[in-house]
Chains A and B, each alone.
Chain A
Amino acid sequence: MMQIKPILAALKRHKAGTILIALQIALTLAIVCNALFIIHQRLDRVARPTGLDESNLMAISTRYVGMDDKDTGAAIRGDLAALRQLPGVEDVVSINSYPLRGGGWSTGVRVNVDDKKPKGHTTLYFSDEHTLATFGTRLVAGRNFQADEIGEADPKSVGDPAVVIISKALADKLYPDGTALGKPIYIGDTKKPSTVVGIVERLQVPWNGNWSDTFFENAIIEPFRLTGSFTNYLIRSKPGQLDALLKAAPAALYKVNRMRVIPSDRGVRTFAQVRERAYRADRGMAILMGVVCLVLLAITAAGIVGLTSFWVGQRRKQIGVRRALGATQHDILSYFLTENLLIGVGGVVVGAVLAIGMNLWLVTQFEMARLSVLYVLVGVVALLLLGQGAVLAPALRASRVSPVEATRSV
């Protein structure tokens, strides 16, 4: 630390180079912090559990052709019976949507009939008593639907269910004291209460975008199978039978009734494919940011190596003189390391400000969250270490300059 004054004096003579390295460190810090933050956010989102046991699960979407809407209830029951008979099928439901699918129903929920504003926002799943077994979702309180509670409903005029199963997150939102079981809830703008008979541990909404973040685990299961020409079948296979069912299940449906459309794209999917598709953009963004970070760090390190090498080459004579005057190899090495550290500190101070500024800009532009200071601290340490690592090779070369250099070419 004795050396700081002479180092500052030397840096003053290399203003341009010093500023360039500091600037590069600053910009790199700003981008890397924000990129890491985006990566973390995206990966957090991808890691959110749906509440489903996602292995051995597949989905089929199908639309009847030329069938009157009032006949579709029986047709769906026929499809369900045919699917249940397939070897390898553990359980199956007809359902309006499921987590990560993308489209679905959402509405507000009140706890008192006179409430003006909804107390919570939720998605609605319409299905029957097989839902919990097919989802692989655990009840934490209450009971499943009974077969005699299940009805059929036209999607354009769904009535109010007498009983519902809700997710724990929604239960806690509506009745924060944990007494939701057995209590009434009012779905949408209805005057008729529905009683909570069961609470499941976790059940995600069908969407995975930002807009549903405020209610992403709020779900209600209503004991209605929706009629209408369009439906989804969610099928749980016996272990190891999923691959066979991917072919057998649509074939069985066509056998029951050929007059239907199962889209070639996204008509038959394993749940792994559903998840892959839902999070493609998030994962891609994380990969892109990761690659950008690595290349940036590599380029910055290379830049430091390049400029420091130049300085070492330029100062060989002065180094020789210092060595001749008694400086040890270690003194020379630490001179260059300290010099780099000083520049690095200058860079990261500016960089931290830039990182926060850039985040604020991203917040206004893309509705992103605020950057936590932790990222900036980690980025600061990483860049200082990177600088020290990059400067090591040229600094070692400098430390090996022989005192004889002092006498050369004078």
Chain B
Amino acid sequence: MSGMFFHNLRLGATSLRRNPLLTALMIMSIGFGVAASMVTYAVFRAVSGDPIPQKSAQLFVPQIDNRGPQYNRHGEPPDALNYTDAMALMRAHKAPRQTLLFQVGLSVMPDDAQRMPFKAVGYATFSDFFNMFDVPFQYGQGWGPGQDESREPVVVISRALNQKLFGGANSVGREITMDDRHYRIVGVTENWDPKPRFFDMFSGNAYAMPAQVYIPFNYAVAQRFDTYGNNNCGSDGKRGDDWGSWLHGECVWVSAWVELDTAAQAEAYRQYLDGYAREQRAAGRFNWPPNNRLRDVAAWLDYEHAVPPESRISLSLALGFLVICLVNTIGLLLAKFMRRAPEIGVRRALGASRADIYRQFLAEAGMVGLAGGVLGLVLTGLGMFGIGLVFEPQIAQLARMDVSLVLLTLVVAIAATVLAAFYPTWRAAQVQPAWQLKSN
């Protein structure tokens, strides 16, 4: 059997060499089609992945409509909460774990007076953040609930910032100065940067540079830190004239997350949100029925369009491109196989079965597919350099050529070509030996 297989491969190679132009056309067609698909797929794969697969079904974003039907967008509540609602959820504590966060931009003052201050971007959040999102630590750990309440200036810094400031040494317990405030380091995270950054889609940071610092939410508010991320006051919104009226106004700027382990808990939380909105209505703050959402990570990423439109357009386009390349290959293979009708006739007359003809021609197609796949690999490699032309650099660097992509390229090329070869092969197997022998 394997002897026959190699015999078929030899026959195929001979035949391919006989029409080098046609063969080259087919290989190029497959190569380009597969490469275009693979390059765009590599980007798509990078941006459509689940950033926290172990917990994505347990983490939820509560949304509360504080705008009402006149001002909200297409009936959807805003993508973040205002301070009032966010703190109400925290106080109610209806979820086993819960956190709020907003982006902060701080200026780190190196101890060495010769070095320039530099900017560190991160989040003001609650202690549950680190457990909820499974943040890995190099040294120390996150702060505790007690420090949430006591508004202590503690900080968790990233491995990269620790490297920059302390040369990578264990810095837990040491102090850093940011703006004119001193913070005590309680933990150093490992390099941790889920992509897309599902927990801060609101500020458009899905693919931003990794966060470097985390500080207690209540401390940041007490110190009147302005958000470094988005602040959305809506089309009717007033930002307010001073800090207090902004903080207690209806501008949304706080992202909220809750961890709910079972469907029953999620349902109970929905009930709670609606109850809260009804209370606000009764109190005269909302004059519309409850309009809340509770989306899990997958639903949230979908709603926030985590996959950039460029990625989806180019992937759809590349798949169309691959289809055209395959149609082209079917045509060329048909031409190639039917030209050999006389040869098929002779083989059939000498006792080759239809199955033999199938095997011979599919082996030939498989070789074209393999060659196309190899060309496709080379072009995919080249295309990886071109990704930066179309996508933001932060997204472009996510797409990489790994073993699975190489294998996928070859498998797609061979499978697609063999699939394309079925019709031409079927036609070849239909050749009537007697008719061919007579007409020659």
Residues of chain A whose beta carbon lies under 8 Å from any beta carbon of chain B: 16-17, 20-21, 23-24, 27-28, 30-31, 35, 38, 63, 65-66, 108, 118, 156-157, 188-189, 254, 258-261, 263, 280-281, 283-285, 287-289, 292, 295-296, 299-300, 302-303, 306-307, 309-311, 313-314, 358, 362, 365-366, 409
Contact A299 B390 (CB under 8 A): no
Contact with A along B95-133 (1 / 0, CB 8 A): 000000000010101000000111100000000000000
By a CB distance below 8 angstroms, the chain A residues around B109 are 65-66
From A16, A284, A313, A366, give the contact of B423 (CB < 8 A). Answer: A16
Q: Determine whether B289 belongs to the interface, using a CB cutoff of 8 Å to chain A.
A: no
Interface-side segment among B160-168, B254-262, B317-325, B403-411: B317-325
Task: From known contacts A260-B117, A288-B314, infer whether A300 and B328 are also in contact, taking CB-CB under 8 Å.
Answer: yes
Given contacts A16-B334, A299-B324, 19 further A-B contacts (CB under 8 A): A20-B327, A20-B334, A24-B328, A27-B323, A65-B109, A66-B107, A156-B239, A156-B242, A156-B243, A258-B116, A280-B392, A281-B392, A289-B317, A292-B317, A295-B321, A302-B25, A303-B25, A307-B335, A362-B313
Judge whether B402 is part of the interface by a CB distance below 8 angstroms.
Answer: no
Any A CB within 8 A of the CB of B238: yes
B5 on interface, CB distance cutoff 8 Å = no
Sample (30) of A-B pairs whose CB atoms are under 8 Å apart? A16-B334, A24-B331, A27-B327, A30-B320, A31-B324, A38-B313, A63-B105, A65-B107, A65-B179, A66-B107, A66-B109, A156-B241, A156-B243, A157-B241, A258-B116, A280-B389, A283-B389, A285-B313, A299-B29, A299-B32, A302-B29, A302-B328, A303-B328, A307-B332, A307-B335, A310-B335, A365-B309, A365-B312, A366-B309, A366-B312
Chain A residues whose C-beta falls within 8 Å of the C-beta of B332 in the assembled complex: 303, 306-307
The answer, yes or no, to whether B440 is at the interface (CB within 8 Å) is: yes
Instruction: Please tell me which one of the listed residues B105, B118, B310 contacts residue A285 in the complex, with CB atoms under 8 A apart.
Output: B310
| Cα separation A252 to B107 with both chains bound (whole Å) | 20
**Known A20-B330, A23-B327, A303-B331: A118·B321 in contact at CB below 8 Å:** no
Residues of B within 8 A of A281 (CB): 310, 390-392
Which residue numbers of B lie inside 8 Å of A, CB to CB?
22, 25, 28-29, 32, 36, 105, 107, 109, 116-119, 179-180, 226, 235-236, 238-243, 246, 309-310, 312-314, 317-318, 320-321, 323-325, 327-328, 330-332, 334-336, 338-339, 386, 388-392, 423, 427, 440
With contact pairs A287-B390, A306-B25, A365-B312 given, residues A63 and B327 touching in the complex (Cβ less than 8 Å): no
The residue of chain B having its C-beta at the shortest distance from the C-beta of A228 within the complex is: B226
Residues of A within 8 A of B314 (CB): 285, 288
Q: How far is the CA of A50 from the CA of B243 in the complex (A)?
A: 34
How many residue pairs link A and B with beta carbons under 8 A? The number is 141
- Whether A16 contacts B427 by the Cβ 8 Å rule is yes
Given A287-B390, A302-B25, A306-B332, the answer on whether A261 and B317 have CB atoms closer than 8 Å is no
List residues of chain A with CB within 8 A of the CB of B318.
292
Residues of chain B with a CB closer than 8 A to A309's CB: 335
B119: which of A259, A261, A362 is its contact (CB, 8 Å)?
A: A261
Which residue of chain A has the shortest Cβ distance to B226 in the bound complex? A156
User: Considering the chains assembled together, what is the distance between the CA atoms of A272 and B385 in angstroms?
Assistant: 23
Interface centre among A16, A263, A358 (most CB of B within 10 A): A16
The answer to whether A409 touches B392 (Cβ under 8 A) is: no
Asked whether, in the complex, the Cβ of A189 is within 8 Å of the Cβ of B116, the reply is: no
Asked whether A63 and B107 contact (CB < 8 A) given A259-B117, A314-B339, A366-B309, the answer is yes
- List B contacts of A280 (CB < 8 A): 389, 392
A288 in contact with B331 (CB, 8 Å): no
Chain B residues with CB under 8 A of A16: 334, 423, 427
* With contact pairs A66-B107, A66-B179, A292-B36 given, residues A17 and B389 touching in the complex (Cβ less than 8 Å): no
A210 to nearest B CB, angstroms?
A: 9
Q: Is the CB of A157 within 8 A of B312?
A: no
**B335–A17 contact, CB under 8 A?**
yes
| Contact partners of A21 in chain B: CB under 8 A | 331
Contact B389 A288 (CB under 8 A): yes
- C-alpha spacing A145/B119, complex, angstroms: 35
CB distance from B308 to the nearest CB of A (A): 8
Which one of B107, B236, B241, B320 contacts A261 once the chains associate, using CB atoms below 8 Å?
Answer: B107
Question: Do the beta carbons of B390 and A263 come within 8 Å of each other?
Answer: no
Q: Report B-chain residues with C-beta under 8 Å of the C-beta of A366.
A: 309, 312-313
Contacts of A108 in B (CB 8 A): 235
Q: Which of chain A's residues have a CB closer than 8 A to the CB of B339?
A: 310, 313-314
Q: Give me the 9 closest cross-chain CB pairs, A-B, nearest first.
A: A310-B335, A284-B390, A65-B107, A284-B389, A66-B180, A20-B331, A303-B328, A157-B241, A65-B117
Q: Chain A contacts of B118 at CB under 8 A?
A: 261
| Bound CA span A288–B61, Å | 36
Query: Known: A288-B314, A307-B332. Is A189-B321 also a contact (CB below 8 A)?
Result: no
Q: Which residue from chain A places its CB closest to the CB of B330 in the assembled complex?
A: A20
Bound CA span A188–B28, Å: 59
A31 touching B312, Cβ below 8 Å: no
Contact (Cβ within 8 A) B107 A263? no
Report the minimum CB–CB distance from A280 to chain B (whole Å): 7
In the bound complex, residues from chain A placing their C-beta under 8 Å from that of B320 are 27, 30-31, 358
Question: How far in angstroms is the closest Cβ of chain A from B85?
Answer: 21
Contacts of A285 in B (CB 8 A): 310, 313-314, 390
CB closest chain-B residue, reference A281: B310
A63 contact set on B, CB distance < 8 A: 105, 107, 119
Interchain nearest-CB distance for A393 vs B (Å): 12
Shortest B113–chain A CB gap in Å is 9
On chain B, the residues within 8 Å of A310 by CB distance are 334-336, 338-339
How far, in whole Å, are A183 and B318 apart by their CA atoms in the complex? Answer: 54
CA distance A27 to B323 in the complex (A): 8
In contact, A306 and B331 (Cβ under 8 angstroms): yes
A288 touches B390 (CB 8 A): yes
Do residues A189 and B238 form an inter-chain contact, with CB atoms below 8 A? yes
How far apart sit A309 and B314, CA to CA, in the bound complex (Å)? 33
Closest to B179 in A: A66
Q: Which residues in B have their C-beta under 8 angstroms from that of A66?
A: 107, 109, 179-180
What residues of chain B lie closer than 8 Å to A307, measured between beta carbons? 331-332, 334-335
Inter-chain contact A306/B335, CB cutoff 8 Å: yes
Chain B residues with CB under 8 A of A314:
338-339
A287 to B383: give the CA distance in the assembly, Å: 13
On whether the beta carbons of B327 and A35 are closer than 8 Å, the reply is no
- Nearest CB on A from B139, distance (A): 26
Kindly report which residue of chain A lies nearest to residue B119, judged by CB atoms: A261
Among B22, B390, B423, residue most surrounded by chain A Cβ atoms (within 10 Å): B390
Q: Say yes or no: B235 contacts A118, CB within 8 Å.
A: yes
**Pick from B32, B242, B336: contact of A157, CB under 8 Å:** B242
